[in-house]
């Protein structure tokens, strides 16, 4: 077939790819929500988990670049929130 044509079997591939990425997004959002909630940042956790799910469901076609970027972004945000919490806790001790 000419390039760019979609055969009927490809629809199943795209559907499974989209479903797999959506469930992976739900899993990572749940993990991030749990970590941020345990760190004491409930509202930030809800906001970032919702943003993660929205971006993931909107851009599932670009699985590799979007997922790796979002995972790195959430790791950075979680690390920053943990450092802020440690800093605030150390100021309260003095």
Residue 69's pLDDT band (cuts 50, 70, 90) = low
What is the overall mean pLDDT for the chain? 67
Q: Where are the domains of the chain?
A: 8-93
Question: What global pTM score does this model have?
Answer: 0.35
Instruction: Compare 76 and 58 and report the one with higher pLDDT.
Output: 76
Residue 5's pLDDT band (cuts 50, 70, 90) = low
- Interval 83-88 mean pLDDT: 80
* C-alpha span between 32 and 38 (Å, rounded): 10
Supply the DSSP string of 8-19, one letter for each residue.
Answer: HHHHHHHHHHHH
- The predicted-structure confidence for 23-68, as pLDDT tens digits, reads as follows 777 777 777 777 777 766 666 666 676 667 666 666 554 555 556 6
């Amino acid at each position: 077939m000419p390039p760019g044509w979609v055969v009927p079997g490809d629809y199943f591939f795209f559907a499974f790819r989209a479903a797999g990425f959506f469930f992976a997004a739900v899993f990572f959002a749940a993990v991030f929500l749990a970590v941020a909630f345990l760190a004491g940042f409930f509202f930030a956790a809800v906001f970032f988990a919702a943003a993660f799910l929205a971006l993931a469901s909107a851009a599932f076609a670009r699985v590799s670049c979007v997922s790796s970027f979002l995972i790195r972004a959430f790791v950075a945000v979680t690390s920053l929130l943990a450092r802020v919490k440690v800093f605030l806790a150390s100021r309260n001790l003095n």
